[in-house]
Structure 1
Amino acid sequence: MDEKLKEALETPAFRALLVGDFSKHLRIPSAFIKNFGGRSLRKCTLRNPSGDCWGVKLKQKEDGLFFRKGWKVFVKDHFLEHGDFLVFEYGGGSEFDVTIFDRTCCEKNVEEAARRASSNLADSRTVDDVVRIERPASVHLAETSSGSVLFKSENTWFTKTLKKFNRNILTIPKHVALAEGLVSDAGLPSRETVTLQDPTGRSWLAQLHVRADRRVQMARGWGACVRANEISPGDDVVFEFVKRGVLQLHIFRGNVLTYIPRCL
């Protein structure tokens, strides 16, 4: 048997369907507590598939052990809804790996859920993700969740409004990844890394991962770039492919242009 499959089958796990007042707390099944080895857990770490972690305190009540303080933040950051289905895998210690499924029984696309939530609060022109693949160069007004940013280039580019869950991993739109040769038509990875360049000329090598649904994500290296440039949730970032495998970053902070790209 494949070692990874064997490990997955041996990992203790429980499942939770989100109903009722799930946003306030969530009960850990009583039969699962035996996996703690007699230890009394007071706090734990919830890790999502992207590797981001949330600290949550546990509270023992008459009717069971509950995820309590910090759970509301996890719910909010992942846009959890009534009918979502969560799988908690426990590898020991105080850490749980959490996989989220929506009502279609498919793994939940948190970025898409964030876009839907934003569109409900903004007017019909507001979008999180704007993609342009056009030549010759023309001026484009990109509408983002924090306003409009003006950008001009002959190159392929896309924008992202940074969310908390984007700080360590970020998804590249599928058709951009195809157009720039990051993934094949069959969904197979064509490159393992891309180079990120900031406005000051510094660069980072970011690893690429292709998910089962063919989404391409930037992981290791992207987080270091975010921290070095102090990019915060709500900032808009334009990713411009200046050449194959090289992305120039243009950062817009709170609707203030911090870097004006040179027209090519």
Structure 2
Amino acid sequence: MALRLPEKFVREYGNKLSNVATLTAPNGSIWQVRLEKANNNIWFRGGWRDFVDYHSINYGYFLVFKYKGNSKFHVLVFDMTATEIEYPSSRDKKRQGNLKENGMSTSRELCVKHEVDTELIIIENSPTSSTRGSVLSGGRERALQAARMFKPKNPSFIRVIQAYNLKCSYVYVTTEFAKKYVQRKNFVKLQASSGKRWLCQFRYRDGSSTPKTIGKGWKSFVTDNGIKAGDACVFVLINSLDVVLKVSIFRMAEYA
């Protein structure tokens, strides 16, 4: 298991990186991850799986790496609702580490497939860089809070829309929700507040009976409903037989 660093970051800092990166989590745990360099690319290789497993990083999580210089990164982990995780006690730390893709002022998001699909954000260590604030700032955080206050009676899950959800035309379904309610289903209908529905297709990992993402049809739903990065969407199961999810959209722009 490995993860590639963003091209722009590599162009600027690649020659300054050693063969081992040091990752520090908020709980104080320190992880050594081997860097593999080939064909103008740099990958986090040895230790990456350990970091992922230790922090229970799942599909759709995104990670923020603040570059401190000297091949050292401070790492934050956010789950699929853009909530920072509860980190394990550093006393229980086992071995080594992980990462994923985007940039801040170097901001760029790519449709890259990895064994664990997360979103990587690397922020340069500058006086204006506010690590958490840069990810959950202003309207985005307030939109998320509004979505959390919405308490439907039916099963539901929340997704904060990221740029890759728009560019790559898919959105993750939370694993817990998928296992309980939509196993072995091929299609899902997304219903807007107007009552109009869009037919979409579930995507599966090879050999899995649990859908990982909503794919084909998602782009049309996003476009027709004007969904933007930073909006918080609440997916509510209103018909389990036909798998109809009513989507309530809490728009970042309205909470800015």
For Structure 1 versus Structure 2, the TM-score category normalised by the shorter chain is 0.3 to 0.5
Q: Which has the higher helix share?
A: 2
Q: TM-score, normalised by structure 2?
A: 0.48
Larger radius of gyration: 1
Which protein has greater RCO, CA pairs closer than 8 Å, 6+ apart? 2
